[in-house]
Structure 1
């Protein structure tokens, strides 16, 4: 089905800027479209990005900028099953394959670094409680290997632990 710009109420004058290159900091994007982060839950064992992840992002590389799904910065920052992490060497190697696939298509990709705070479950955190600024329930659930599980009351993060989370973000970056 072919749909013209006029059919959807757009003119070439409106659309043209969207399709023109733009400089964003040190990055030259081939157009001004951005693929927002989408939760895919397609990583392999241990949160390692697989060839399926590389294919998924490669297929979307025509966007000016692709922003990855939320990517945990540590084993204590996993929010859902099959989430690709960036906190060990195997995961880094998996993301290199994804990045190379996007670059091969002329695309640019940014990794969204992530910590879920209270929005997780002990089944995703090696039995540990999620941490949050305070002990408040989220009222939400997380997808786990055992199905959707309600979030428990989180453990309040101690002031001394903040530096460790900041360091995890820095290491992941």
Structure 2
């Protein structure tokens, strides 16, 4: 029998097998809050030993794409709590991929449509980058 389908202890977290579903940006959450469709999507994949969520923007400024569910307000957290409960109900484990796209964001995704800022002035493809300064 392959070790792939045997249980694994990940630093105290018991996984039923060694299969890991990698994160995928799905861009299917119209109001940026994970809903019952998102919960169903992840619950259907709970037979993997570990699921890693799609990228969750950690702030409004961290968004990189439309329709990605965030985790920067209470409504987002409640939505992800329902997703987590659905996965756990199927015996699965789930990790969050916390995400901030930094300079790769776009003006249209930024609060007030301001330009995204970066730690430096290295340009991103198709986006003008401005270094964040103290002034």
1:98-136 CA-to-partner distances (Å, cap 9, x unmatched) read: 101110110000001111011110111121211212223
Which residue is 1:120 aligned to?
105
Q: Secondary structure at the match of 1:118?
A: helix
Higher relative contact order (CA 8 A, sep 6+): 2
Distance 2:85 2:6 in 1: 23
Q: Structure 2: where are the runs of 5+ without partners? A: none
The answer to whether structure 1 residue 130 and structure 2 residue 105 are counterparts is no
RMSD: 1.2
- The 8 Å contact of residues 42 and 52 in structure 1, kept in 2 or not, is answered as no
Which residue is 2:85 aligned to?
100
Aligned length: 133
Flag the structure with larger Rg: 1
Change (3 A) 1:136 1:56: same
The answer to whether structure 1 residue 28 and structure 2 residue 3 are counterparts is no
- The 8 Å contact of residues 136 and 153 in structure 1, kept in 2 or not, is answered as no
Q: Secondary structure at the match of 2:87?
A: helix
Which residue is 2:35 aligned to?
50
Aligned mate of 2:129, from 154, 167, 171: 154
1:50-85 CA-to-partner distances (Å, cap 9, x unmatched) read: 111111111111110000011111111001001110
- The 8 Å contact of residues 44 and 50 in structure 1, kept in 2 or not, is answered as no
TM-score normalised to the size of structure 2?
0.93
